[in-house]
Amino acid sequence: MTLPLPHQVLFSEFCRHATLTPLHNHGRAAEVFYNQQSLGFVDHHGQEGLRQAHQREVNNALYHNTPDQLPAIVPLPPAKVLGEYPQLADKFPELAHHFPSPGHSQTI
């Protein structure tokens, strides 16, 4: 089954398709997989580790769409996903024009 990219789904859906594998004798706590592909390592187990991986995926998608990164290699996350991480919206103000302002509805 082909799933949407991890940064294109809400955290709750991401959790339904992600697995966290604890690591031993390693500097990090676990490795996260989504759609059978590694998303890398995280510092925590459980929901906290999954949240770290999801937020990193959203962050990276935003970064790859900044003006300095041409051409964009991944689509932007939907506004509802970015809404789960408001600190990332603040981190990438140059992308604000892609997302609706509070109180306005817009489909991206």
Q: DSSP letter string over 13-54?
A: HHHHHEEEEE-SSSSSSEEEEETTEEEEEESSSHHHHHHHHH
Per DSSP, the three-state class of 83 is coil
Q: Poorest-confidence range of 14-23, 25-34, 80-89, 99-108?
A: 99-108
Domain total for the chain?
A: 1
Q: Taking residues 43-67, report their average pLDDT.
A: 96
Is 14 contained in some domain?
Answer: yes
Domain that holds residue 10: 6-88
Is 1 contained in some domain?
Answer: no
Return the percentage of the chain with pLDDT > 90, whole number: 77
- Cα separation, 45 vs 30, in Å, equals 6
- Identify the pLDDT of residue 104: 42
Is 73 contained in some domain?
Answer: yes
- Identify the pLDDT of residue 90: 93
Confidence of residue 102 (pLDDT cuts 50, 70, 90): low
- Cα separation, 28 vs 25, in Å, equals 9
Q: Poorest-confidence range of 5-9, 28-32, 55-59, 65-69?
A: 65-69
| Count of alpha carbons within 13 angstroms of residue 7, beta-carbon side | 21
Is 102 contained in some domain?
Answer: no
Between 105 and 16, residue with greater pLDDT:
16
Is 99 contained in some domain?
Answer: no
User: What is the rounded average pLDDT for all residues in the chain?
Assistant: 91
Angle at 59 between CA 58 and CA 65, to 5 degrees: 95
Tokens read off for 106: 């817009």
pTM: 0.88
| Phi, psi for 21 (deg, rounded to 5) | -110, 115
| Phi, psi for 66 (deg, rounded to 5) | -75, 155
Is 21 contained in some domain?
Answer: yes
pLDDT above 90: residue 30: yes
